[in-house]
């Protein structure tokens, strides 16, 4: 959804809190000055609430006109059967019928990612693709195509209509309770030396600035509402989540395997500061 906000709106003072991407007024790489139409001085700032991106151009296709863009990735050995769009990226969709072909493409992407130090390839399996819902007029304006498909990766806290302050308090309290329970149970079988190590380890973790990140990891892992998105570096894990819905898998009924024709594995190139493993943050004991 696109909204108009004032340039002095409080959200610009706290972009991190309001999830704003401050690449303000970014343009697709193929744009040239002659292509830019509209006024820059009308005082309007447009905000796309799905991506947190802001711009103040009245021109068409501020996220890049699809027909003028090349695919973000191409392969000489795999046929593109569809495409997705996000701001400034045209994403190809490939079809695979066996592991061998998929693994060859995956390995190629991993190899290419090594050209960008710090970039990591992660995977996400889904039983189907969920799309952002927009009006056709808005899609036409943003991308130059009313039939554009934008993938939706909605964090669970938004789906449950919780505020971020509430869920952070929830994560902290649940993680603290888990630590307290761990200490209580451990006292039954640890000797004094080992218990003291565990106690001080947990105490230092709770005082650390990383406690929120660790709490997010626990929330994501144990099903609490969170702002996170589950990714994996393990191909078999992504394949499992592409084939099964978790609630159906728990019923242990083979008949509940999803219709694999819609099963999708998304491949992400991630910056190191956008991902973390909660195992790397948890207390060493």
Report the 10 Å Cβ neighbour count for 114. Answer: 9
Residue 217 has pLDDT above 60, yes or no: yes
Q: How many residues does the chain have?
A: 285
Q: What is the mean pLDDT of the chain?
A: 80
Residue 253 has pLDDT above 70, yes or no: no
According to the model, what pLDDT value does residue 27 have? 54
What percent of the chain clears pLDDT 90, i.e. is strictly above it? 26
Q: 211-222 vs 192-207: helix axis angle to the nearest 10?
A: 100
The rounded distance, in Å, linking the Cα atoms of 156 and 228 is 8
The rounded distance, in Å, linking the Cα atoms of 99 and 109 is 15
Residue 108 has pLDDT above 80, yes or no: yes
Q: What is the SS3 string spanning 14-54?
A: CCCCCCCECCCCCCCCCCCHHHCCCCCCCCCEEEECCCCEE
pLDDT tens digits, one per residue of 42-95:
567 788 888 888 876 666 788 889 999 999 888 888 889 999 999 889 999 998
How far CA 1 is from CA of 9, 44, 52, 57, 88, in Å, comes to: 18, 16, 10, 16, 17
pLDDT band at 152; cut points 50, 70, 90: very high
According to the model, what pLDDT value does residue 256 have? 56
pLDDT tens digits, one per residue of 153-203:
876 666 666 777 788 888 889 999 999 999 999 999 999 999 999 999 999
pLDDT band at 275; cut points 50, 70, 90: confident
Report the 10 Å Cβ neighbour count for 246. Answer: 10
pTM of the model: 0.74
């Amino acid at each position: 959804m696109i909204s108009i906000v004032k340039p002095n709106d409080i959200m610009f003072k706290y972009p991190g809190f309001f999830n704003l991407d401050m690449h303000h007024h970014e343009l697709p790489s193929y744009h040239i000055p002659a292509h830019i139409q509209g006024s820059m001085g009308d005082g309007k700032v447009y905000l796309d609430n799905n991506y947190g991106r802001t711009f103040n151009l009245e021109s068409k296709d501020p996220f890049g006109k699809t027909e003028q863009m090349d695919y973000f990735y191409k392969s000489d050995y795999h046929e593109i059967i569809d495409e997705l769009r996000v701001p400034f990226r045209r994403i190809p969709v490939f079809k695979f019928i066996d592991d061998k072909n998929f693994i060859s493409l995956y390995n190629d992407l991993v190899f290419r990612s090594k050209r960008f130090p710090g970039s990591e390839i992660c995977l996400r399996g889904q039983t189907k693709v969920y799309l952002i819902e927009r009006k056709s007029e808005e899609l036409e304006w943003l991308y130059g195509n009313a039939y554009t498909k934008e993938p939706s990766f909605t964090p669970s806290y938004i789906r449950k209509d919780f505020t971020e302050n509430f869920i952070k308090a929830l994560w902290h309290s649940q993680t603290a309770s888990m630590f307290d329970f761990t200490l209580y149970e451990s006292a039954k079988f640890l000797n004094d030396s080992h218990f003291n190590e565990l106690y001080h380890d947990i105490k230092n973790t709770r005082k650390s600035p990383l406690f929120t990140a660790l709490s997010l990891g626990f929330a994501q892992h144990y099903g609490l509402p969170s702002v996170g998105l589950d990714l994996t570096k393990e191909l078999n894990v992504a394949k499992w989540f592409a084939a099964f819905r978790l609630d159906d898998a728990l019923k242990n009924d083979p008949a509940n395997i999803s219709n694999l024709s819609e099963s999708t594995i998304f491949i992400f190139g991630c910056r190191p500061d956008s991902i973390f493993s909660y195992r790397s943050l948890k207390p060493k004991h």
